[in-house]
Structure 1
Amino acid sequence: MQSKINNLNPFKNLNKDIPASVVVFLVALPLCLGIALASGAPPLAGIISGIIGGIVVGSLSGSPLGVSGPAAGLAVIVFEAIKGFGGIEGGGFEIFLVAVMLAGIIQIIMGILRAGIIAYYFPSSVIHGMLAGIGILIFLKQIPHAFGYDKDPEGDFEFFQRDNENTFSELANMFNFVSPGVIIITAISLVILIGWQAKIIQKNKILSLIPGPLLAVVAGIVLNILFKGNTDLAIAKEHLVDLPIASSTSDFLSNFKRPNFSALKDPQVYITAIVIAAIASIETLLCVEASDKQDDLKRITPTNKELRAQGIGNLISGFIGGLPITQVIVRSSANQQAGGKTKASTILHGFLLLISIITIPFLLNMIPLATLAAILLVVGFKLAKPALFRKMYRQGLGQFLPFLITVLGILFTDLLMGIGMGLVVAIFIILRNNFKVPFELSGDLVEDGKKKIIITLSEDVTFLNKASVLNTLSKIPDNSIVIIDGSKTQFIHYDVIEIFENFAINAKSRDINLSVKGLDVTKSKSPLQHFKISN
């Protein structure tokens, strides 16, 4: 039953999936190139991992909307690993590819061992915070490109960058590199993207089939050509997509690197593989949770199957010269926002990447980065809509605080650090709530001149409730009547029982009249046995 729910007929949804695949392709292309550049890897390596992430992982995955490819969150690790193995020129990249393959094998084993269950332990407030944080980061990172400042590589989604700048200082720097032609293209692209979402367009059967981002890209290419004759508006090469152009089949194939298997003797390769597998798996599982939350049909991705699919993808990607693959929230969100319904859009975007680098790299190199920045500005805004912040605030501090901390952590550090910060806050709130509410306390009654206190235990009382139970019992006054009512309790941890037993011993010296109701204290040596009353 679950498989039928998760797998809509892709052939009946091509009218949605084909336009969505074009959008994802347009978003994925610059990210693949930019992440390769940020990782210190050959540009084609990013495209290869995007192709494998789309075609291979997309085919094997059970995620209806998730899109996989090279991840910005691994860029620093990849960069340091390649450098540590000797750099690109010294064969470091070929050695690194072995680590990617090993990471894939580790992920396959994790999937077989059902390690995907850890995804279900991330609070929804942190997942929503991750989506909003990434949305804001995407938006901020694209503003310099929208004005014509492209020094910072596309795909560098950390706060502190290797060029000694940060997310906000880049916004100040961009005013020194403003390009009038780029600004015009950005503005026109945004008008097309926003205007194309108008109801009058979407209700038209013909116009609604044309993806707004594709129209924006065509407009960007046309404007780029028109501006070439104007020295003030001409778009410089650094403001355009930059794909390698092969003059022959052998030239094209020469761009594919092969792993150096002699590196299997190097212990550092295995350490790098474990790090990549761990981080890639965590990022993937978080993105799976986020993608499922964005799904209008609320389908559930089988996480163990996803880990196995990612592992096979990394195994193949490493073998043919690609970067590590994870499910990526930027592309997955673009897929969902563009109306994708099945994983056909993910697979098709992989084929579009493959076809594009073989047939039309010269045409793709005419696409202004400003147009792609406009597409990502819209994606980023949709991920971090003000309505989401209002919704989380209305749910109370228990939800809003982890959400906000996650957003700020991602914005000012990086993805994994931000998620970790949000988790710490969420766990603290859970512990605090457990400290406060393991029972109901009624202490306003009076019987025979003594204060009567009834402690009604909740359904589950765990060891996390020890602190609150101890705190409450310590405040009970001498010469009072106390009833511990466990009639509703299904589970109570032994540590809490032990606290009640110690209280029972102490109660005698404090002239406390204790009664115990509903708890299993049949042990002959339990001090509570003497205070048990019938239900």
Structure 2
Amino acid sequence: MFKHLKSDLPASVVVFFIALPLCLGIALASGAPLFSGLIAGIVGGIVVGALSGSHIGVSGPAAGLAAIVLVAIGTLGSWENFLLAVVLGGVIQLVFGFLKAGIIGYYFPSSVIKGMLTGIGIIIILKQIPHFFGYDADPEGDFAFFQVDGENTFSEILQTFNNISPGATLIALIGLGILILWSSVLSKKGKFFQLVQGPLVAVVIGIIFYNLTKGSDLWGISTDHLVSVPVPEDASSFLAQFSFPNFGAIGNPQIWVTAFTIALVASLETLLCVEATDKLDPHKRVTPTNRELLAQGTGNIISGLIGGLPITQVIVRSSANIQSGGRTKLSAIIHGFFLLISVILIPRLLNMIPLSVLAAVLFIVGYKLAKPALFKTMYDLGWKQFVPFIVTVLGIIFTDLLVGIALGLLVGIVVILIKSYQNSHFLHIEDKSNGKHKIKMTLAEEVTFFNKGAILKELDSLPRDTYLELDVRKTRYLDNDIIEILDDFAFKAQERNIDIHLISERGMVENPPSFIEFFKLRPKSA
């Protein structure tokens, strides 16, 4: 595990600085105690990181669950009741894992997964623009198009330009310059610049800038534009931040509905993230999805037992881990320990970090996920790849993650149906022979009810006095709907003076009286 420590340690520092405000922001957006987001980040890093089979995936509280959590807390009546739903959701995820439900993630087209990554990259940039310029009307966890304050992604950006903070903007630009210089120039100059990552330097300079400009009306950074970690006064006040589920409410049906919703959405987000991170992994390692569901279920049980938010594998932190050179699961585990140690030992120091500097870090992450060259690559692959890709991107930007993916998947299915319609058969027309048109129709290997329209259209368009050669030798599956169409056509063919020459594995048949009876005699596999 420690073989790649020199790569995993710097990556874990970057993931830590990204995870810290996201954990707090998602908790705030969820209407939950701020400390619950940190608990979920710690458990996601240490527990899920240790149990997961993913080498580069990072788990923690997810923005996609924020709306569900917000509604559920109000519906269930108390935070303790909601924690019980989180625990039960984890148990249901364990059941999913044991039932081998992890295979679901493999049924999402590559174009949709790439669209998901690109859409998330764009939304990261758009959502961090207010923080970059020192305008903090919404928490970092508010990743949906319509926001908690009634604004949307773009109207919030317009509001930002009327509320620019000079100090926050200046240190954000300095931080962005450091990050670009570090990754493009300094990282190639020596081992020191590879071990000490640009984001760490940017954060340290941000803390120094905040303290030097404190009290300045022009360049000072307001406290609402800083990281806000709960600061306990002593050990007892620290322990008082933990909450425990109310097991007395286990008979409440609403608890079980919420638990199943959490398990379903968290599992789907995790499986999609696993598929996406595996594609980003430069070493192309494959994550065992069923083991991932078991790890996530265990993490949610523990998180719920001690007062944390629901956990999923999350693409923002996972992609930051990959881009920062993380090689093994150790980077995710170390980032969890960093979260734990920092909230215990240095919460006041963390509260000096400007959010605009962290926004600069996320700008780089977002750009690497949504490089402009990818749009051209997908366009060059043809409309069957580009349309589901772009629909997924736009869906994520203008709705939210799961809706965007669902739209992309729906379009992908429509594309499959169109291609299935087009590829059901091959038609070859020859010159007239003995006064009749000779037409050869070869059916595909698998012909289902999706192909009914295309085949019916071809048969109905055959002219009178035609010699039809119908070849089913390559066909291994022929849907009963298609057989019925052929049977009906055999009756019409007599009226239109169409001779049918059926070629199958069993030989040749001229004008079969009943296709239904003929195919009943064929093996089911044929």
Q: TM-score, normalised by structure 1?
A: 0.94
| Alpha-carbon separation, structure 2, partners of 1:99 and 1:504 | 60
Corresponding residue of 2:337: 351
Cα deviation for residue 528 of structure 1 reads 7.2
Equivalent residue, structure 2, for 1:212: 198
> 1:253 offset after TM fit, Å?
0.5
Question: 1:230: Cα distance to partner?
Answer: 2.7
Structure 2 equivalent of residue 11 of structure 1:
2
- Distance in 2 (CA, whole Å) between partners of 1:317 and 1:521 is 66
Cα separation, partners in 2 of 1:64 and 1:520, compared to 1, 3 Å: farther
Cα deviation for residue 458 of structure 1 reads: 2.0
The answer to whether the 8 Å contact 1:505/1:527 transfers is: no
- In the alignment, which residue of structure 2 is the partner of 1:84? 75
Partner in structure 2 of residue 363 of structure 1: 349
For residues 321-360 of structure 1, what are the structure 2 equivalents within 5 Å?
321-360=307-346
Q: Given the superposition, is the C-alpha separation of residues 353 and 445 from structure 1 closer, same or farther in structure 2, using an over 3 Å criterion?
A: farther
Does 1:61 pair with 2:61?
no
- Residues in 2 aligned to 1:222 and 1:446: alpha-carbon distance in whole angstroms: 88
Which of 469, 480, 489 is equivalent to 1:483? 469
Q: Match for 1:493 among 479, 485, 494?
A: 479
Residue type at the aligned position of 2:109: P
1:7 aligns with none
Displacement of 1:493: 2.4
Task: Give the whole-Å Cα distance in 2 for the aligned partners of 1:121 and 1:530.
Answer: 36
1:397 equivalent in alignment to 2:383: yes
Q: Identify the match of residue 211 of structure 2 among 193, 214, 225.
A: 225
Please give the alpha-carbon distance, in whole angstroms, between the structure 1 residues aligned to 2:506 and 2:100: 36
- How far 1:199 sits from its partner (Å)? 4.4
Secondary structure at 1:163's aligned position in 2? coil
Match of 2:431 among 440, 445, 452: 445
Deviations 1:304-338 (A, max 9, x none): 11111111110110000000111111111111111
Give the equivalent residue in structure 2 for 1:242.
Answer: 228
Question: Which residue of 304, 323, 337 corresponds with 1:318?
Answer: 304
Separation of aligned partners in 2, 1:445 and 1:13: 70
CA distance in 1, matches of 2:224, 2:508: 79
**Aligned residue in 1 for 2:66:** 75
Give the whole-Å Cα distance in 2 for the aligned partners of 1:51 and 1:293.
26
2:460 to 471, 474, 492: 474
Query: What secondary structure does 1:446 align onto?
Result: strand
Alpha carbons of structure 1 residues 530 and 132: separation in structure 2 relative to 1, 3 Å: closer
Residues 130, 508 of structure 1: CA spacing in aligned structure 2 closer, same or farther, 3 A cutoff? same
Identity %: 57
Residue 511 (structure 1) shift: 0.9
- Report the CA distance shift for 1:277/1:511 in structure 2 as closer, same or farther (over 3 A): same
1:97-116 Cα offsets, whole Å, 9 max, x none, are: 00000000000001101111
Separation in 1, partners of 2:203, 2:376 = 34
- The reply to whether residue 202 of structure 1 matches residue 188 of structure 2 is yes
Equivalents in 1 of 2:505, 2:418: separation in Å? Answer: 25
- The 1-side partners of 2:506 and 2:345 are apart by 75
Please report how far the alpha carbon of residue 65 of structure 1 lies from its aligned counterpart in structure 2 after TM superposition. Answer: 1.4
Residue 33 (structure 1) aligned to one of 15, 24, 35:
24
Question: How far has the Cα of 1:215 moved from its partner?
Answer: 1.0
- Alignment-mate amino acid for residue 183 of structure 2: Q
Q: Single out whichever of 446-455 and 426-435 deviates more from structure 2.
A: 446-455
Q: Please say which of residues 469-478 and 353-362 is displaced more in the overlay.
A: 469-478
CA-based RMSD: 1.9
Amino acid at match of 2:272: L
Shift of 1:74: 0.7
Q: How many Å separate the matches in 2 of 1:30 and 1:114? A: 34
Q: Aligned partners of 2:435 and 2:514: how far apart in 1?
A: 30
Where does residue 275 of structure 2 map in the other structure? 289
Q: Aligned letter for 2:31?
A: G
Q: Hey, what does 2:144 align to over in structure 1? A: 158
Match of 2:371 among 381, 385, 389: 385
Tell me whether 10-19 or 25-34 shows the greater mean CA deviation: 10-19
**1:112 paired to 2:98:** yes
Work out whether residues 130 and 410 of structure 1, in 8 Å CA contact, stay in contact via their aligned partners in 2. Answer: yes
Change beyond 3 A, Cα 1:527–1:264: closer
Rounded to whole Å, the distance in 1 between the matches of 2:27 and 2:215 is 33
In the other structure, the counterpart of 1:280 is 266
Cα distance in 2 between the residues matched to 1:203 and 1:493: 65
Task: Report the residue type matching 1:250 in the other structure.
Answer: S
Q: Which residue matches 1:4?
A: none
* SS of 1:176 mapped into structure 2: coil
- Please report how far the alpha carbon of residue 82 of structure 1 lies from its aligned counterpart in structure 2 after TM superposition: 0.8
Query: Mean Cα displacement is larger for which, 446-455 or 390-399?
Result: 446-455
Question: What residue is the counterpart of 1:21 in the other structure?
Answer: 12
Q: Distance in 2 between matches of 1:222 and 1:96?
A: 40
Q: 1:278 to 1:522 in 2, by over 3 A?
A: farther
Please give the alpha-carbon distance, in whole angstroms, between the structure 2 residues aligned to 1:327 and 1:104: 14
Kept in 2, the 8 Å contact 1:145–1:370? The answer is yes
Moved more, 486-495 or 208-217: 486-495
Tell me what 1:504 maps to: 490
Mapped contact 2:138–2:148 kept (Cα < 8 A) = no
How far is 1:165 from its partner?
A: 0.5
> Gaps spanning 5+ residues in structure 1: where?
1-9, 87-91
Please, which of 38, 49, 63 is the counterpart of residue 47 of structure 1? 38
Q: CA deviation at 1:204?
A: 1.5
Which sits farther off after the overlay, 296-305 or 484-493?
484-493
Q: CA deviation at 1:130?
A: 0.7
1:527 matched to 2:525? The reply is no
Distance 1:267 1:23 in 2: 42
CA distance in 2, matches of 1:27, 1:304: 27
Bigger shift: residues 447-456 or 60-69: 447-456
SS in 1 for 2:60: strand
8 A Cα contact 1:485 1:519, kept in partner: no
Which string of whole-angstrom CA distances, capped at 9 and with x for unpartnered residues, describes residues 435-472 of structure 1? 11112111243322321111122222223222221122
Deviation at 1:127, TM superposition (A): 0.7
Task: Tell me the secondary structure at the aligned position of residue 165 of structure 1.
Answer: coil
Question: Could you tell me which residue of structure 1 aligns to residue 421 of structure 2?
Answer: 435
Counterpart contact for 2:490–2:514, Cα < 8 Å = no
Which residue of the partner structure matches residue 244 of structure 2?
258
Q: Residue type matched to 2:72 in 1?
A: A
Q: How many residues align?
A: 518
Distance 2:40 2:434 in 1: 78
Distance 2:137 2:72 in 1: 23
- Name the CA distance, whole Å, in 2 between partners of 1:287 and 1:197: 25
Structure 1, 226-235 or 403-412: larger mean CA deviation: 226-235
The amino acid of 1:454's aligned partner reads K
Matched, 1:129 2:115: yes
